[in-house]
């Protein structure tokens, strides 16, 4: 297996790793870099549990090769909280009981983070459209959508 | 993942060609968005295959609106294409087509080049590309050539591209005043689904609403996207009244040889082709009237 | 505990103790654990749906560089030696579980495990699987009820004699069991009927659809002990089932449950665990095995496809005079479909004099059925609740009134013979009728449907321990995996009982060596049964605290009362003496001086779980040109006895209803004629996505269950039961199309509309 | 005297769906029934039992009142 040396920015820090040219970014994050917060639900880009931000864009890391991340900026769930402070989305998910088993939560929070960075005041429909690539089987999505809307208003500085 | 082999991400078309020459004789696959290719590789296809990643070449990544044409890089991501306001004004239907592909996450990667060359009969990006009457710049060991987009797909998973050839960009005409397109697809779920049927309508109307030009292309009812010329014929020189549009839908529902598979029966695809053709023509017509 | 009605903590919705780990990605699920020196295991699965294994040659695989172990059926004790019933909550024959985990003489479904290898990398393991040489004698696949029940049908099990028939048959059959429940006289009942509804309803094979694939890591130590880390609903069940399949003494196995990425009943059994242990034993290395999504669909417990024939007699006043229900249920490769519970719940919402319920458990060449949220109940509820709606329509009666007219109440004798204690069906129907949703206006092509449902809720065995820390905070320890926020409800019940703040209680889930025996988190039992063990443990802690206070005050323990988290001398003892109450924290601080650390344990077989009833209102809009159904409004009304963590009870109601909606509209296993599943991916096995649904409104009715200190009833499973019929009834109301075969996908509905 | 109601295989094994048995506890009742029909012994222990209308899983030591009504029902699986 020929391995390539890849340099990236991972959760704000310069990070280098070796990965086989056929290894997905998901497997690289989980097996080489020990960041197991990004989950595999299907490995075919249909469930969104492996969502990371690649140059700021919500992306299924199971459909990206590790070598394609050369020179890119990667953000995973482990980078969402910042200096000991939870991100408003994380707080909103906890306060709204917007997770039950929690396996889809990392992927949804990362995808929602990308949404709120580009749509600070999304409608319910826009949130549902944006998150349709993130399957959840436990919650029926209701409290997840409420949590994202709450986080959006908190980030706009509105009192809950 | 099957056994590894080389991977290259050239920064120019020429650099890409030198890599292609270096792998001639060996299996080579072009990697654009990868949202189809990586799934196929994971299922064991293309083992020991060199990968040419074309997402670092200006021509394949850029979207440029020129006075008399529009150029869209074959590896430009759907999310970039959908964010381009000017492009959406010129070709709303074209943008709707690629916007349908997969989820937000897939939109960050999916490309017109990948969608077309994967050659799925149900590809959402293809009907509007063909209906726009566009051409594409093909680059390969024997040099460059320009072909109509409609000639690229030759069957499910098959294209007319030769060994070592790839599409660098798509070139579309600037639509004339009074012209517009629209794309609709049907899927049981609202998202994350493969089209049971997809219909692109691209037409022009004169000042009093008579159709002067029409092109209707239907996906998922034939081995490749079907250019429904007799649907177009039924519209040209006609005022786009409900009666005419219904007739167009009626014709559309007889076309192609749709399969029965896990996504729908052939009889159902015929019916839906008719319904979506009517709806797409109606939307394109309304947009065209406003585009005077 | 006097049944107070105002509580300090019970009924609130605080943040769960494990929440931060789950929103930051730190929480470890099945595939996240690693062990030093770990290698990777993969399973070779049958490419055919029905056949006899003639030979397996593992040697070529062992010769692939990097392969350290390879196993097949011969590496396990003879399945016939594995006797008895599993202790899992879906009682299954251990011999069947052993033969499902690894095929022995026969392969019985496409995807049935035949062999497994362990290698230095997943890629090498995949490669090695291609080198295993297997020869089969292919047999004709049996793929549906008609094929299986046909007279000359190929037999899956030559030794399977139908159980439950009046006369014991001599011929083997694909019908594994028959169950009959009857009361009164059908003919008399039907003679009193003004109308008779007779219809056949079918539901497809469907999967629980948990987002986390099955995953396990196993390690065998040199001293013969084994450790298993896996995502499961029941670590003790994994220990007991794995030990029996391996032929090991279960004391040698320690199971540590990881966080579980959804189960819904599908992770109450075993698939990979014994294979990983055997590969670890043979290779001397820890072995990690993770299923692909395709494996999960092809080879883990879907729920049964079913066919239910209903004949319903009703008089003009809307009283059911007779009901004849016949259910045929696909068990998959081995007996054990949820036929029995489907029969027992079929008519349980209604007080009937004359009924006959017959159920058939039928094996077919499909994966062995496992429990899926109120296993069996949705199958017959879809049929009966649809038939009742058809009757209401024909008689021009309101569908809620017709249900109220027949509703089971306290004292009603259920079809399976039990007399109901206090239950809340009537209250849910009245709440539905009074709800603004029920009378909201509808536009063209829109329709409204309602349906009711029931689930028993299980009790089973649970244990809990509570340790007081020196600073007066408490740790509550159970082995009930936390799928829906149960750590929070354990902490709430502990805090309420001890009288200390919720934030002072941390609830953890422990492994099989650190916590007392606990059955699965399933059967909607955790908050009820494990909750009762937690409360019993807390009450024992209070006894200790009163003893410590009594000792400090030189009183007898009986003279000390416990209120609001403090020890108080009773009125007689405190008369004339200036004794200040002692808080839990003060007593914990002085524990060393008064006898040592304060902790308590409690275990029980919890009886009297008390059934859970629910009623749902569904609004749909149908596109008549494409046959597509859009859910535009949905309200779930359910009796929870007492909601402990309000938001997570709502979450169960919402999640269960949405699984029912998916089942009604688009979810199904699609097989080809050779028995190979065609849609084994999340793309083509269409579960609802966020854009497919509106907000799911919930109403929690609270008719207390006398058998729980706070009145708790299970809530996890009932919400899926009514949803299938609620959607079907709404579609009929919208476009006058009675769809009796699920899923009601667009092609089927458009065909019905075009022919109507 | 406990009035016993059978379902499923037990009806065949005991030749009837109802029986009265002198027993003051479930343990005694199961012993009496197992003597009467040894083939049913295992099944009796696996089944859920409703005593005067209340379902008990794993019932064994429960006492039976004079006119107790006992019903053997299939064990309740759960998801």
| DSSP symbols for A112-140 | HHHHHHH-SS--HHHHHHHGGGS--SSS-
Cβ pair C472, C441 in contact under 8 A: no
Kindly state the percentage of chain D with pLDDT values over 90. 38
SS3 (DSSP) at C537: helix
Question: What CATH number does the domain located at C35-375 have?
Answer: 3.90.1170.50
Domain spans of chain D, in order of start: 2-73
Question: Which H or E element spans position B54?
Answer: none
CA B132/CA B120 separation, integer angstroms:
19
Cβ pair B127, B183 in contact under 8 A: yes
Chain A residues with CB inside 8 Å of B55's CB?
Answer: 68
Q: Which residues contact C345 (CB under 8 A, 6 or more apart)?
A: C374, C376, C377, C380, C381, C454, C455, C456, C721
Find chains touching chain C: ≥3 CB pairs under 8 Å. A, B, D
Stated pTM of the model: 0.96
Q: What is the pLDDT of residues B241-286, one digit of tens each?
A: 999 999 999 999 999 999 999 888 999 999 999 999 999 999 999 9
Residue A84 φ/ψ region, left for φ over 0, alpha for ψ in the -120 to 50 degree band, beta for the rest: left
- The confidence band for B6, taking pLDDT boundaries of 50, 70 and 90, is confident
Q: What is the mean pLDDT of residues C527-552?
A: 96
CA C466/CA C472 separation, integer angstroms:
12
Q: In angstroms, what separates the C-alpha of A100 from chain B's closest C-alpha?
A: 23
Cβ pair B67, B174 in contact under 8 A: yes
Residue C88 has a pLDDT of 46
Chain C residues with CB inside 8 Å of A86's CB?
Answer: 20, 23-24
Residue C70 has a pLDDT of 98
- The confidence band for C164, taking pLDDT boundaries of 50, 70 and 90, is confident
- Cβ A128–C259 below 8 Å, yes or no? no
DSSP per-residue codes, C642-667: S-SSHHHHHHHHHHHHHHHHHHHHT-
Residue A160 has a pLDDT of 64
Which domains, ranges and CATH numbers included, belong to chain B?
Answer: 7-48 (no CATH), 59-173 (3.30.465.10), 183-290 (3.30.390.50)
CA C194/CA C322 separation, integer angstroms:
11
Residue C50 has pLDDT above 90, yes or no: yes
Residue C682 has a pLDDT of 97
Test mutation, C679, C684, C747, chain B, max B CBs within 10 A: C747
- Cβ C418–D8 below 8 Å, yes or no? no
Choice between C328 and C81, residue whose per-residue pLDDT is larger: C328
**Tokens matching residue B170:** 């798509």
What does the radius of gyration of chain B's CA atoms come to, in whole angstroms?
Answer: 19
Q: Where in chain A is the domain with CATH 3.10.20.30?
A: 3-79
Q: Which fold has domain A88-155?
A: DNA polymerase; domain 1 (1.10.150)
- In the predicted model, residues of chain A with pLDDT beneath 70 are 1, 160
- Cβ B189–C666 below 8 Å, yes or no? yes
CA B147/CA B161 separation, integer angstroms:
10
Question: Which H or E element spans position C727?
Answer: helix C723-735
Chain C residues with CB inside 8 Å of D5's CB?
Answer: 417
Q: Which residues contact C35 (CB under 8 A, 6 or more apart)?
A: C217, C219, C286, C288
- Cβ D73–C90 below 8 Å, yes or no? no
Q: What is the pLDDT of residues C457-494, one digit of tens each?
A: 988 999 999 999 999 999 999 999 999 999 999 999 99
Chain A residues with CB inside 8 Å of B106's CB?
Answer: 45, 60, 63, 133
Q: Where in chain A is the domain with CATH 1.10.150.120?
A: 88-155
CA-to-CA dists, residue D15 to C162, C175, C504, angstroms: 17, 22, 59
CA–CA–CA angle D66, D67, D71 (5° rounding): 120
CA C559/CA C556 separation, integer angstroms:
5
- Strand order in D48-51's β-sheet? D18-21, D2-5, D69-73, D48-51, D54-56
CA C155/CA B160 separation, integer angstroms:
51
- The confidence band for D78, taking pLDDT boundaries of 50, 70 and 90, is low
Choice between B185 and D57, residue whose per-residue pLDDT is larger: B185
Q: What is the mean pLDDT of residues C311-329?
A: 98
CA-closest candidate to residue C246, choices C59, C107, C94? C94
CA C130/CA C132 separation, integer angstroms:
6
Q: Which of C679, C683, C751 sits opposite B192 (nearest CB)?
A: C683
Q: Which of C375, C417, C609 sits opposite D79 (nearest CB)?
A: C375
Residue B286 has a pLDDT of 96
Question: What CATH number does the domain located at C19-27+459-605 have?
Answer: 3.30.365.10
Cβ pair B164, B140 in contact under 8 A: yes
Q: Which fold has domain D2-73?
A: Ubiquitin-like (UB roll) (3.10.20)
CA A103/CA C259 separation, integer angstroms:
9
- The confidence band for C229, taking pLDDT boundaries of 50, 70 and 90, is very high
Q: Is B159 on the interface with A (CB under 8 A)?
A: no
Which of C40-49, C60-69, C89-98, C125-134 comes out lowest in average pLDDT? C89-98
Q: Is A142 on the interface with C (CB under 8 A)?
A: yes
pLDDT, averaged across chain C? 95
Cβ pair A78, A30 in contact under 8 A: no
Residue B4 has a pLDDT of 44
Residue B3 has pLDDT above 80, yes or no: no
Q: In angstroms, what separates the C-alpha of C167 from chain A's closest C-alpha?
A: 45
Residue A159 has a pLDDT of 76
Q: Is B262 on the interface with C (CB under 8 A)?
A: yes
- Cβ C371–D55 below 8 Å, yes or no? no
Chain A residues with CB inside 8 Å of C292's CB?
Answer: 43
Test mutation, B27, B53, B105, chain A, max A CBs within 10 A: B105
Q: What is the mean pLDDT of residues C195-219?
A: 98
In this structure, chain A runs to a length of: 160
- Cβ B38–A132 below 8 Å, yes or no? no
Q: Which fold has domain A3-79?
A: Ubiquitin-like (UB roll) (3.10.20)
Tell me if the bond preceding B171 is cis, omega within 30° of 0. Answer: no
- Cβ C524–D71 below 8 Å, yes or no? no
Residue D42 has pLDDT above 90, yes or no: no
Residue C402 has a pLDDT of 97
Say yes or no: do domains C19-27+459-605 and C378-456+611-755 share a fold.
yes
ipTM of the prediction: 0.96
Kindly state the percentage of chain C with pLDDT values over 90. 92
Chain B residues with CB inside 8 Å of A116's CB?
Answer: none
The strand ranges marked E within C64-193 are 67-72, 106-107, 113-119, 133-138, 175-183
**Tokens matching residue C725:** 């019929």
Q: Which residues contact A42 (CB under 8 A, 6 or more apart)?
A: A49, A62, C293, C681, C682
Q: In angstroms, what separates the C-alpha of C569 from chain A's closest C-alpha?
A: 40
What percent of the residues of chain C are helix, what percent strand, and what percent coil, each to the nearest 5?
30, 25, 45
C with B: touching (≥3 Cβ pairs within 8 Å) = yes
Residue C571 has pLDDT above 80, yes or no: yes
Residue B2 has a pLDDT of 40
Chain A residues with CB inside 8 Å of B192's CB?
Answer: 46, 132-133
- Interfacial residues of C (vs B; Cβ cutoff 8 Å): 123, 625-626, 628, 665-666, 670, 678-679, 682-684, 686, 688-689, 691-692, 745-747, 750-751, 754
How many inter-chain contacts (A to B, CB under 8 Å) are there?
A: 94
Question: What CATH number does the domain located at C378-456+611-755 have?
Answer: 3.30.365.10
Cβ pair C682, A41 in contact under 8 A: yes
Question: Which H or E element spans position B17?
Answer: helix B13-22
Residue C3 has pLDDT above 60, yes or no: no
CB neighbour burial string for C66-94, b if at least 16 within 10 angstroms, e if fewer: ebbbbbbbebbeebeebeeebbbbbbbbb
Beta partners for B166? B139
Q: What is the mean pLDDT of residues C176-196?
A: 95
Residue C574 has a pLDDT of 80
Q: In angstroms, what separates the C-alpha of C186 from chain A's closest C-alpha?
A: 41
């Amino acid at each position: 297996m020929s391995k390539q040396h890849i340099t990236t920015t991972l959760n704000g820090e310069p990070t280098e790793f070796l990965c086989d040219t056929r290894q997905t970014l998901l497997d690289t994050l989980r097996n080489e870099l020990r960041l197991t917060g990004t989950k595999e639900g299907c490995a075919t880009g249909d469930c969104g549990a492996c969502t990371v931000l690649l140059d700021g864009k919500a992306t299924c890391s199971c459909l990206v090769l590790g070598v394609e991340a050369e020179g890119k900026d990667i953000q995973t769930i482990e980078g969402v909280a910042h200096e000991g402070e939870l991100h408003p989305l994380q707080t909103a998910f906890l306060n709204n009981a917007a997770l039950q088993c929690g396996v889809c939560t990392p992927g949804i929070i990362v995808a929602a983070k990308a949404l709120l960075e580009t749509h600070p005041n999304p409608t319910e429909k826009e949130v549902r459209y944006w998150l349709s690539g993130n399957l959840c089987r436990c919650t029926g999505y209701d409290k997840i959508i409420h949590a994202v809307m709450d986080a959006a208003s908190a980030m706009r500085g509105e009192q809950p | 993942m099957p056994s590894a082999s080389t991977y290259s991400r050239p920064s120019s078309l020429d650099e890409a060609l030198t890599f292609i020459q270096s792998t001639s004789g060996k299996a080579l696959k072009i990697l654009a968005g990868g949202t189809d290719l990586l799934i196929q590789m994971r299922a064991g296809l293309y083992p020991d295959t060199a990968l040419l990643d074309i997402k670092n070449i200006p021509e394949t990544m850029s979207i440029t609106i020129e006075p008399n044409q529009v150029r869209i890089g074959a590896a430009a991501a759907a999310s970039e294409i959908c964010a381009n306001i000017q492009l959406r004004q010129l070709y709303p239907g074209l943008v709707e087509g690629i916007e349908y592909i997969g989820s937000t996450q897939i939109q960050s990667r999916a490309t017109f080049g990948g969608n077309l060359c994967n050659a799925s009969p149900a590809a959402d990006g293809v009907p509007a590309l063909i209906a726009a009457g566009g051409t594409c710049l093909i680059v390969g060991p024997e040099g460059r050539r320009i072909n109509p987009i409609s000639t690229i797909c030759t069957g499910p998973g098959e294209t007319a591209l030769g060994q070592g050839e790839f599409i660098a960009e798509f070139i579309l005409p600037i639509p004339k005043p009074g012209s517009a397109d629209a794309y609709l697809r049907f899927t049981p779920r609202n998202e994350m689904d493969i089209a049971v049927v997809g219909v692109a309508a691209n037409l022009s109307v004169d000042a009093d609403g008579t159709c002067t030009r029409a092109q209707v292309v239907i996906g998922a009812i034939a081995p490749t996207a079907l250019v429904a010329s007799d649907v177009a014929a039924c519209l040209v020189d006609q005022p786009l009244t409900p009666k005419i549009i219904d007739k167009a839908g009626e014709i559309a529902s007889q076309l192609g040889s749709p399969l029965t598979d896990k996504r729908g029966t052939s009889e159902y695809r015929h019916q839906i082709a008719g319904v979506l053709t009517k709806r797409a023509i109606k939307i394109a017509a309304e947009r065209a009237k406003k585009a005077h | 505990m006097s049944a107070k009605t105002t509580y300090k903590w019970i009924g609130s919705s605080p943040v769960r103790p494990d929440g931060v780990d789950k929103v930051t990605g730190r929480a470890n699920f099945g595939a996240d654990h690693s062990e030093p020196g770990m290698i990777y295991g993969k399973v070779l699965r049958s490419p055919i749906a029905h056949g006899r294994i003639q030979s397996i040659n593992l040697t070529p695989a062992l010769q692939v560089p990097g392969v350290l172990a390879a196993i097949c059926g011969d590496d396990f004790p003879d399945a016939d030696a594995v006797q008895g019933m599993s202790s899992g909550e879906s009682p299954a024959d251990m011999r069947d579980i052993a033969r499902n985990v690894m095929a022995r003489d026969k392969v019985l479904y496409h995807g049935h495990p035949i062999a497994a290898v362990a290698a230095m990398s997943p890629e090498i393991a995949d490669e090695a699987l291609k080198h295993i040489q297997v020869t089969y004698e292919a047999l004709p696949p049996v793929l549906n009820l008609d094929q299986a029940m046909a007279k000359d049908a190929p037999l899956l099990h030559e030794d399977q004699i139908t159980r439950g028939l009046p006369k014991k048959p001599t011929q083997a059959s694909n019908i594994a069991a028959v169950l009959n429940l009857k009361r009164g006289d059908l003919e008399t009942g039907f003679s009193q009927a003004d109308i008779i509804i007779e219809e056949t309803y079918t539901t497809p094979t469907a999967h629980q659809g948990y987002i986390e694939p099955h995953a396990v890591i196993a390690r065998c130590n040199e001293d013969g002990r084994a450790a298993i880390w896996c995502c499961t609903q029941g670590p003790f069940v994994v220990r007991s089932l794995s030990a029996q399949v391996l032929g090991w003494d279960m004391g040698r196995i320690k199971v540590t449950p990881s966080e579980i990425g959804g189960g819904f009943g599908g992770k109450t059994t075993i698939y990979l665990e014994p294979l990983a242990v055997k590969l670890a034993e043979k290779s001397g290395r820890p072995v990690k095995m993770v299923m692909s999504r395709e494996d999960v669909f092809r080879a883990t417990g879907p729920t049964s496809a079913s066919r239910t024939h209903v004949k319903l007699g009703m008089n003009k006043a809307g009283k059911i005079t007779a009901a004849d229900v016949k259910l045929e249920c696909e068990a998959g490769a081995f007996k054990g479909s949820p036929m029995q519970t489907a029969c027992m719940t079929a008519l349980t919402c209604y007080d009937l004099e004359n009924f006959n319920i017959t159920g058939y458990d039928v094996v077919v060449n499909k994966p062995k059925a496992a429990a899926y949220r109120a296993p069996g109940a949705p199958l017959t509820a879809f049929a009966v609740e649809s038939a009742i709606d058809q009757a209401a329509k024909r008689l021009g009666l309101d569908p809620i009134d017709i249900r109220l007219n027949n509703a089971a109440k306290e004292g009603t004798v259920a079809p399976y013979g039990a007399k109901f204690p206090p239950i809340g069906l009537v209250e849910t129907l009245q709440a539905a009728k009074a709800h603004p949703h029920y009378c909201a206006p509808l536009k063209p092509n829109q329709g409204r449907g309602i349906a009711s449902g029931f689930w028993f809720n299980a009790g089973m065995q649970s244990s809990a321990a509570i340790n007081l820390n020196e600073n007066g905070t408490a740790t509550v320890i159970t082995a009930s995996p936390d799928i829906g926020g149960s750590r929070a409800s354990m902490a709430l019940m502990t805090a309420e009982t001890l009288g200390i703040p919720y934030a002072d209680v941390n609830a953890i889930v422990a492994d099989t060596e650190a916590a007392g025996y606990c059955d699965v988190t399933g059967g909607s039992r955790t908050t009820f049964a494990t909750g009762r063990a937690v409360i019993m443990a807390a009450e024992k802690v209070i006894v200790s605290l009163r003893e410590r206070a009594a000792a400090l005050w030189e009183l007898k323990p009986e003279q000390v009362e416990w209120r609001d988290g403090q020890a108080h001398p009773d009125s007689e003892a405190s008369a004339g003496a200036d004794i200040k109450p002692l808080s839990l924290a003060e007593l914990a601080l002085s524990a060393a001086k008064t006898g040592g650390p304060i902790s308590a344990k409690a275990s029980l077989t919890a009886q009297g779980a008390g059934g859970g009833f629910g009623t749902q209102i569904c609004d749909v809009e149908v596109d008549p040109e494409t046959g597509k159904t859009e859910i535009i409004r949905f309200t779930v009304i359910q009796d929870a006895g007492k909601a402990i963590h309000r938001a997570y009870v709502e979450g169960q109601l919402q999640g269960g209803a949405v699984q029912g909606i998916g089942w009604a509209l688009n979810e199904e296993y699609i097989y080809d004629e050779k028995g190979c599943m065609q849609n084994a991916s999340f793309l083509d096995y269409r579960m609802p996505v966020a854009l497919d649904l509106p907000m799911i409104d919930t109403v929690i009715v609270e008719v207390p269950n006398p058998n729980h200190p706070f009145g708790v009833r299970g809530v996890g499973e009932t919400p899926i039961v009514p949803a299938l019929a609620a959607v079907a009834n709404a579609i009929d109301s919208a476009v006058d199309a009675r769809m009796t075969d699920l899923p009601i996908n667009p092609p089927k509905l458009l065909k019905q509309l075009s022919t109507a | 005297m406990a009035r016993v109601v059978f379902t499923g295989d037990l009806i065949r094994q005991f030749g009837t769906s109802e029986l009265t048995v002198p027993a003051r506890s479930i343990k005694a009742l199961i012993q009496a029934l197992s003597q009467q029909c040894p083939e049913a012994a295992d099944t009796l222990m696996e089944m859920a039992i409703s005593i005067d209308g209340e379902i008990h899983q794993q019932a064994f030591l429960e006492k039976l009142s004079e006119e107790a009504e006992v019903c053997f029902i299939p064990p309740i699986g759960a998801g």
